[in-house]
Amino acid sequence: MKIPKSIRNLIEAFERLPGIGPKTAQRLTFYLLHVPSEELEMLSSSVSSLKLGTKICSICRNVGEDDPCEVCTDRGRDREVIAVVESPLDVLALEKAGFKGLYHVIHGVISPLNNIGPDDLYINDLMKRLKRESAASEGTEGSAYNYLSGDVLDSAASGEIKEVILATNTNMEGESTAMYISKLISGLNGQSSAVKITRIGRGLPVGGDIVYADDITLKRALEGRVSFNL
Ligand SMILES: [Zn+2]
């Protein structure tokens, strides 16, 4: 018997999602066959509007509804500290743990096995951001940070980045990515004002994902961050 094309297409679409194998893809598809049409409409419109309703922030590269995002434009946050994280999910985890600084999302890790190099991530953007910040604090190249306006521009200009917390995961790829970024920033420090580099650690299991750490452990890991200048 031939499986109808529309069913086959959906199974194949599910199979392409992370963590979903052929069995689960089939189960989900046949489950949806029994769901009322209105619910299916809602699901499909959520899927199709996913990209339309979200933007990648041009400053921190986090996913939000506006560009710049609500964190980057929030004057109440500590604008001297940037946490570098792998994914937008890590931002949510750090928010829950009470972090009040800024973020930079690099969207992945350096992974030679998967052909992912530094240029495939938003690492260069971080470097530009740090350069821009130091230029602003030195009172030169004022136009370099034109991407912000009004009140936010004022706070960005007066708030120099003093610390970069490398909050990539504690597995091998996360560690080597943190090391790579640390080296780049250290090189940058040579030309401009020094930025302190720290790495979250205490309490986090080695090889673990930040997203899976509980709030208290993550909060302690943030508080107990250690200097990471190579
Ligand atoms: Zn942002």
pLDDT in tens, 87-113: 999 999 999 999 999 999 999 999 998
Q: How far is the CA of 177 from the centre of ligand 1 (A)?
A: 21
* 109 secondary structure, DSSP code: -
Q: What mean pLDDT is predicted for residues 77-93?
A: 95
Q: Lowest-confidence range among 23-37, 80-94, 137-151, 153-167?
A: 137-151
- pLDDT beyond 90 at 156: no
Residue 104, beta-bridge partner list: 84
The residue extents of the domains of the chain are 5-48, 58-227
Compute CA 46 distance to the chain's CA centroid, rounded to the nearest angstrom.
22
Q: How confident is the model at residue 135 (pLDDT cuts 50, 70, 90)?
A: low
Q: Report how far ligand 1's centroid is from the alpha carbon of 58 (Å).
A: 7
Dump pLDDT digits (tens) for 6-36: 999 999 999 999 889 999 999 999 999 999 9
pTM above 0.85, yes or no: no
Q: How far is the CA of 179 from the centre of ligand 1 (A)?
A: 23
At the second CATH level, the architecture of 58-227 is 3-Layer(aba) Sandwich (3.40)
Using pLDDT thresholds of 50, 70 and 90, give the confidence band for residue 191. Answer: low
pLDDT given at position 131: 80
Cα(219) to ligand 1 centroid in Å equals 22
Distance 33 CA to ligand 1 centre (A): 39
**Cβ atoms 110, 177 nearer than 8 A:** yes
Mean pLDDT check: name the lowest of 19-28, 42-51, 113-122, 187-196. 187-196
Res. 137 pLDDT band, cuts 50 70 90: low
Are 11 and 29 in contact by the 8 Å Cβ rule? The answer is yes
pLDDT band at 133 (very low <50, low <70, confident <90, very high): low
Measure 66 CA to ligand 1 centroid, in angstroms: 9
Distance 1 CA to ligand 1 centre (A): 52
CA of 70 to the centre of ligand 1 (A): 7
Domains 5-48 and 58-227 share a fold: no
CATH topology of domain 5-48: Helicase, Ruva Protein; domain 3 (1.10.8)
Question: With bands split at pLDDT 50, 70 and 90, how would you rate the model's confidence at 218?
Answer: confident
In one-letter notation, the amino acid at residue 61 is R
Can you tell me the distance from the alpha carbon of 74 to that of 80, in angstroms, rounded to the nearest whole number?
Answer: 13
pLDDT at 209: 82
- Centre of ligand 1 to C-alpha 32, Å, is 36
In the reported structure, the alpha carbon of residue 75 is separated from the centroid of ligand 1 by a whole-number distance in angstroms of 12
Distance 47 CA to ligand 1 centre (A): 23
List of residues 6+ apart from 157 with CB closer than 8 A: 136, 137, 142, 145
Q: 143 pLDDT band (50/70/90 cuts)?
A: very low
CA 69 to ligand 1 center in whole angstroms: 4
Distance CA 16, CA 29 (A): 13
From the CA of 78, how far away is ligand 1's center (Å)?
14
What percentage of the chain reaches a pLDDT higher than 70?
Answer: 84
Query: What is the whole-number distance in angstroms between the Cα of residue 44 and the centre of ligand 1?
Result: 28
Q: Which of 33-37, 45-49, 134-138, 221-225 has the lowest mean pLDDT?
A: 134-138
Question: Ligand 1 centre from 183 Cα, in Å?
Answer: 24
Residue 5 has pLDDT above 70, yes or no: yes
